[in-house]
Amino acid sequence: MFPLTSSYNFIKRSVVGQCAFQKTKFFIQHFKFQQSTFSSTNRGNFKTATSKDVDFFLSLLGKSRTIQDVDELKVHNTDWLKSHQGKSPLVLRPKTTEEISEILQYCNKEKLAVCPQGGNTGLVGGSIPIYDEIVLSMNLMNEILHFDENTGVLQCQSGCILESLESYANEKNFTVPVDLGAKGSCQIGGNLSTNAGGLRFVKYGSLHGNVLGLKAVCANGEILDCMNTMRKNNTGYDLKHMFIGSEGTLGIITEAAILCYPKSSQTAVAFLGCNTFEQVLKTAQIVRRQLPELLSSLEMLDNEAADTLRDNLKLTVPISKHPFYVLVEISGSDSEYNEKKLNECLNLLMEENHISDGTIATDSTRMKALWSVRERITEALLHEGCGYKYDISLPLKHFYNLVKVMRRRLGTKVTRCVGYGHLGDGNVHFNATTKEFDLEVLNLIEPFIYEWTVQRKGSISAEHGIGYKKTKYLCLNQTDAAIGLMKSLKRLMDPNGILNPYKVLP
């Protein structure tokens, strides 16, 4: 038995038992911009904002919310990965749905393109202007509107930071159904617009299922009130789903009603070491079977990811070196029951020789420390120079083969080939790095990685979206008929194409 009362390390000492692609020029270059090689798209036929347009926004929002300061503009023109710098001359900061309505009405009439921006933590170039689109920053739309303690339904403006919503819900003994490494900066509106997956997907499922209603502003300024707080509401087409995952191309989400869940009072995190990926799969299978009512997260990282954390952030894994690490989080209401179930599960994993080292944490500081190993990989990779970042869904039997195949393919041309991700829902993040951008490496990765994925019935974008970076590959996962319908929908809802142009659709 492994006592669960506090953090406890255990070590197993004995074994018991169809498209034509142009190579994309969009790449990730950290700390240095290579703008000239960024874009292969021509600027759309939009108007360039004039002083008359600026005067209109000044009269609507005032000086403090009509940003033209060069330093501030730079922040909003640059994505989290520092892979692109747009040229927007103007950032608008509305506070209400009605202000957004007036802004879009004006932009639509004047054919001014708009880039909606939440916390700007997106990883596919969706949240930054490609040319001179006006940035519509949601930063000031950050009010919590209502919380129903009977149902757990939280209504808020879309610019609320995810972590603030979680803290608010926690005070009421509830938890929000989405959690991700960028929680301190990303906004619920951005989460909805990307249909973010994250670390609790295995327990609570997709945001499509956890958002009961929302308010959005259409391209022509019309306010579409799809707010609803009922769990059940089968009245015609469920229009809110058009805005979830459409990355700001169909409308601006301004308010949402999120279903929160009672917060589990007892949580434990186990960090386990496996020697082979087959053991990882077996561990995942047993954890799912043994802890079905408790499992709240099931994540993995490989040793190369651990090395990147150690080298770049001085963050070490809490157990002995292994080729693979699995992080299991359980949450429930009874610590004795949790302890019993987790111990039984870990005993079984040890006895059957699927894990050979591990540590358990039940106090919040230790649990946070274990989580930071998984959550800070993206940040650690930033320090490597140039990164090539992929977010792939695969059937579990192929999950890590992707990394192995890419490692063989790229050989010594790259400095790192890292695999980590959401094991519980088949979402692997493959990352390669080089010191400087290398077109040969990019051409070795794309479109190969996408074709390989699709041949195995996977998805080329599991949770980050299509954004600007992957538009030309959309056809690999979607049929011509589906893309045709998406384009018709876009034309219908945004005939002038002003909302987040160059994103999602090829």
Ligand X SMILES: Cc1cc2nc3c(=O)[nH]c(=O)nc-3n(C[C@H](O)[C@H](O)[C@H](O)COP(=O)(O)OP(=O)(O)OC[C@H]3O[C@@H](n4cnc5c(N)ncnc54)[C@H](O)[C@@H]3O)c2cc1C
* Residue 248 within binding range of ligand X, rule CB under 6 A: yes
Q: CB 353 → ligand X: shortest distance, Å?
A: 31
Among 10, 56, 57, 80, binds ligand X (CB under 6 A): 80
293 HSE (CA, 13 A, CB side): 6
Going residue by residue from 13 to 52, which x/- string records binding to ligand X, judged by CB under 6 A? ----------------------------------------
Contact criterion met (CB below 8 Å) for 178 and 195: no
If the CB atoms of residues 243 and 324 are measured against ligand X, the closer one turns out to be 243
Q: How many residues bind ligand X (CB under 6 A)?
A: 38
* Residue 181 within binding range of ligand X, rule CB under 6 A: yes
* Residue 213 within binding range of ligand X, rule CB under 6 A: no
Pick the stretch among 35-43, 398-406, 462-470, 483-491 that binds ligand X (CB under 6 A). 462-470
* Residue 88 within binding range of ligand X, rule CB under 6 A: no
Q: CB 336 → ligand X: shortest distance, Å?
A: 32
Pick the stretch among 83-91, 194-202, 260-268, 477-485 that binds ligand X (CB under 6 A). 194-202
Of 156-175, binders to ligand X (CB under 6 A) are 158
* Residue 187 within binding range of ligand X, rule CB under 6 A: yes
SS3 letters across 376-426: CHHHHHHCCCEEEEEEEECCHHHCCHHHHHHHHHHHHHCCEEEEEEEHHHC
Q: How far apart are CA 296 and CA 422, in angstroms?
A: 12
If the CB atoms of residues 122 and 426 are measured against ligand X, the closer one turns out to be 122
Of 329-388, binders to ligand X (CB under 6 A) are 378-379
If the CB atoms of residues 332 and 497 are measured against ligand X, the closer one turns out to be 497
Q: CB 385 → ligand X: shortest distance, Å?
A: 18
Per DSSP, the residues of 95-148 read -SHHHHHHHHHHHHHHT--EEEESSS--SSS-SS-SSSPEEEE-TT---EEEEE
* Residue 308 within binding range of ligand X, rule CB under 6 A: no
Contact criterion met (CB below 8 Å) for 360 and 4: yes
Q: How far apart are CA 130 and CA 42, in angstroms?
A: 10
Of 90-149, binders to ligand X (CB under 6 A) are 115-123, 126-127, 138
Tally: H helices and E strands in the chain: 18, 20
If the CB atoms of residues 83 and 267 are measured against ligand X, the closer one turns out to be 83
Residue nearest to ligand X (CB): 190
Alpha-carbon dihedral angle through residues 119, 123, 124, 130, given to the nearest 10 degrees: 50
Give contact residues for ligand X (rule: CB under 6 A): 80, 115-123, 126-127, 138, 158, 180-182, 186-187, 189-191, 193-194, 196-198, 247-248, 252-253, 378-379, 463-464, 467, 500, 503
